[in-house]
Amino acid sequence: METLAALGQGFAVAAQPVHLLFAFIGAVLGTAVGVLPGIGPALTVALLLPVTYNLAPTASFIMFCGVYYGAMYGGSTTSILIKTPGESASIITALEGHQMARRGRGAAALATAAVGSFVAGTLATVGLTFLAPPMVSVALAFGPAEYFSLMLLAFTTVSAVLGESRLRGAISLFFGLGLGLIGIDTQTGQARFTLGQPALLDGIGVVLVVVGLFAVGETLYAASRERDAEVTPIRGSVWMTPEEWRRSWKPWLRGTAFGFPIGALPAGGAEIPTFLSYLAEKRLTKHPEEFGKGAIEGVAGPEAANNAAAAGVLVPLLTLGLPTSATAAILLAAFQGYGLQPGPLLFEQRPDLVWGLIASLYIGNVMLLILNLPLAPLWVRLLMIPRPQLYGGILVFAFLGAYAANNSVADLVILMVIGLIGYVMRLYDFPAAPVLVGMILGPLSEQQLRRALAISQGDPSVFVTRPIAASLVAITIAILIVPPLLSRIMRSPVKA
Amino acid sequence: MGREVGPLAVGAGVTGLGLFFLLGALTIPGEALYAAVGPRAYPTVIGAGLIALGVSFLIAARRGTEFPAAAGPAERGAIPWILGGLVLATALITPLGFPVAATVLFLFAVRGFGSRRWARNVLYGAVLSLVVYVVFARALGISLPGGPLDRW
């Protein structure tokens, strides 16, 4: 009941005309930018940050959530029509959705993705609403030792579980941790790795890294590797047939059931649930022959899972201050930009902001459904922008985003360096999310480790004697050693 | 970067970065206050970690087990154009303002993607940069240097 009252307060905030307007602007901008090929939700949020620099925090976060959800909707359009997923969680959608588009059912694929995103997004937001308060009570019991152990777990899962190569994931993570070291050490006031540059004393901004890795790195990659992409035109009925509805609704619900819980785990991520959902639909379908050739279940399930996970990721972000995806890392940076630290205290100190944000997710989802179904042909026209001009435009916005944060030319130089690194990472398939999670959680974990050891007077056994911390450490160790052990035991005679 | 040399260079780069952090850690002054976690502890662990990972990557790269080949043939001319555009725009933003710098960036970037219709691209770039400038600097109040436009 208390939760419902809080949510009611949230709706009172979110339903103010100004906030509705910002939610709407966010949803439109998020969809429009998210539709552009090669731009995933993380980059969309980063590129649109400057829009909110002069807004009050509540308005700004309401807009952000519109952008975040809008980018998820927009991304599925791109995956289906030109098979360039802007992020790894859309890869599965791209597989089946693009096949549907080629068979002339692109419109139905877009519709099942949009309605599925709406169903999953709304259900997952309900999940967020009711899971957040108990998580907050758990989080209040967390001391520095627990936080540090939780961060260790997040480091491990984001680098070792999510990608295809643990080695490359770990390299990305450590690179991010290294970036996080740059600047003034918060506890001792020592400048670290600033190379004598005053511009580096405050550290490297997360937005700069996101824009560098995703926008500049991706542009360099696209320019050197894949200049052309074919847009599959939408043909046929713009609406789903009754048969397609029948085949879609169960995958939507199952996808949500995969997406939200996995996204809400402090380990997080949207890739695994989309993949699980696809496998489940493939097993359960009555039309196995269509899989790989454009089965609607293969779009409906993963797309729902993807959106549900996107809402799930907000649970650890809002209640623990723990980002588990690239987009969540930017949202956290945006919070920090306003001097706010997500976590249990934020629920107490700024309930208007937190609950207004959650309420605006419900509203945003409705707006997005309305925007996406009838306006799909309009978004598709954005895909027709020729690649040179499209990427030229992306670079202009990247340049703006990198410069506008501090009006600093040094930031533009850093942007180029990070962009080149992003290009190499893209070339050799290094995941980007561990970089961001490492760079933002690295300094936080250092702080928690110091606090934990200060409280225990230097005794490191706190991490194994306190039950929550000890279990988190045990899970972390299990994730690190069990899979390699298993593969050693069950080593197949034929090496893949 | 060739297919053989590239991954080795990446491994060497990661190892080098690890050395940078590890050696850099030695030069950070300051002692641990309460516990073992002074300003050097994290850099030491991260530096050592990067070295270990870089060496593992080098070994994997030599065995050919770790990296996938990048798809498609490379367009070698693209990267210098785009980087050149970024360098020029960075140099121009302070003296000439955002609209001019962004137009130059756009022009170089589209050339990097192989578009040679200069006149049309100048027009596109200029219009885009001006619209972005007006929306962000004038309507949203973001501080951006306007160059010649600052007088209006």
pLDDT tens digits, residue range A199-244?
788 888 888 898 898 889 888 888 887 656 666 666 655 677 888 8
For an interface test with A, which of B22, B88, B106 has the most A Cβ atoms less than 10 Å from its Cβ? Answer: B106
Query: Residues A413, A416, A421, CA angle at the centre, nearest 5°?
Result: 130
Residue B50 in domain: yes
User: Using CA atoms, how far apart are residues A41 and A74, in angstroms rounded to an integer?
Assistant: 9
Closest approach of B119 to chain A, Cα-based (Å): 13
B86 and B142 in a single domain? The answer is: yes
Residue B19 in domain: yes
Contact: B140, A54; criterion CB under 8 Å: yes
Nearby residues of B108 by Cβ (< 8 Å), 6 or more positions away: B81, B82, B84, B85, B86, B88
Contact: A168, B66; criterion CB under 8 Å: yes
Q: Which of residues 214-253 of A touch B (CB under 8 A)?
A: 216, 219-220, 222-227
Number of domains making up chain B = 2
Please give the share of chain A, as a percent, with pLDDT higher than 90: 8
B82 and B59 in a single domain? The answer is: no
Tokens 């542009």 sit on residue: A219
Q: Which of residues 274-333 of A touch B (CB under 8 A)?
A: none
B147 and B100 in a single domain? The answer is: yes
Q: What confidence tier does A494 reach under pLDDT thresholds 50, 70, 90?
A: very low
Which DSSP string do the residues of A336-395 spell out, in sequence order? HHTT---SHHHHHH-HHHHHHHHHHHHHHHHHHHHHHHHHHHHHHHHTTS-HHHHHHHHH
pLDDT digits (tens, 9 = 90+) for A173-209: 999 999 999 988 877 777 888 887 887 888 888 888 9
SS3 state of residue B99: helix
Identify the domain containing residue B90 by its residue range: 78-151
Single pTM value for the model: 0.85
Residue B113 in domain: yes
**pLDDT of residue A131 exceeding 70:** yes
Both structure tokens of A356: 């207004």
B59 and B26 in a single domain? The answer is: yes
Residue B58 in domain: yes
pLDDT at B84: 93
Out of B30, B50, B109, whose CB is closest to A178? B50
Least confident of A1-5, A147-151, A386-390, A435-439: A1-5
pLDDT at B13: 92
Helix, strand, coil percentages for chain B (3-state, nearest 5): 70, 0, 30
Both structure tokens of A307: 């959106």
SS3 state of residue A191: strand
**pLDDT of residue A480 exceeding 60:** yes
SS3 state of residue A184: strand
The more confident residue out of A410 and A288 is A410
pLDDT at A143: 86
Residue B69 in domain: no
CA A147 to chain centre: 21
Contact: B109, A416; criterion CB under 8 Å: no
Sign of CA dihedral A440, A443, A448, A453: positive
Least confident of A401-405, A429-433, B96-100, B136-140: B136-140
Number of A/B CB contacts below 8 angstroms equals 210
Phi, psi for residue A264 in degrees, rounded to 5: -80, -20
Nearest CA in chain A to B106: A392
Q: Can you tell me the mean pLDDT for B29-48?
A: 76
pLDDT digits (tens, 9 = 90+) for A302-359: 889 988 988 898 998 999 888 888 888 888 888 888 888 888 888 888 888 888 888 9
Closest approach of B88 to chain A, Cα-based (Å): 11
User: Using CA atoms, how far apart are residues B148 and B152, in angstroms rounded to an integer?
Assistant: 8
CA B9 to chain centre: 18
Task: Decide which of B36, B63, B90 is a domain's last residue.
Answer: B63
Phi, psi for residue A183 in degrees, rounded to 5: 120, -165
Torsion of CA B69, B73, B78, B79, to 10 degrees: 20
User: Using CA atoms, how far apart are residues B92 and B96, in angstroms rounded to an integer?
Assistant: 6
Residue B30 in domain: yes
B37 and B102 in a single domain? The answer is: no
User: Using CA atoms, how far apart are residues A289 and A287, in angstroms rounded to an integer?
Assistant: 5
pLDDT at A85: 63
B25 and B86 in a single domain? The answer is: no
**pLDDT of residue B67 exceeding 80:** no
B115 and B57 in a single domain? The answer is: no
Residue B35 in domain: yes
Q: Which of residues 436-455 of A touch B (CB under 8 A)?
A: 442, 446, 449-450, 453-454
Burial class (CB in 10 A: 0-12, 13-18, 19+), B41: middle
* Residue whose C-alpha is closest to residue A109's, from A83, A133, A138, A144: A83
pLDDT at B30: 65
User: Using CA atoms, how far apart are residues A385 and A379, in angstroms rounded to an integer?
Assistant: 11
Q: Does A164 lie at the interface with B, CB-CB under 8 angstroms?
A: no
pLDDT digits (tens, 9 = 90+) for A260-296: 888 888 766 777 888 888 888 888 888 878 887 778 8
Residue B73 in domain: no
Residues of A in contact with B39 (CB under 8 A): 185, 187-188, 190, 192
Burial class (CB in 10 A: 0-12, 13-18, 19+), A192: buried
Residue A191 bridge partners (DSSP): A184
pLDDT at A125: 92
Query: Residues A355, A356, A362, CA angle at the centre, nearest 5°?
Result: 95
pLDDT at A495: 43
**Which ipTM did the prediction report?**
0.89
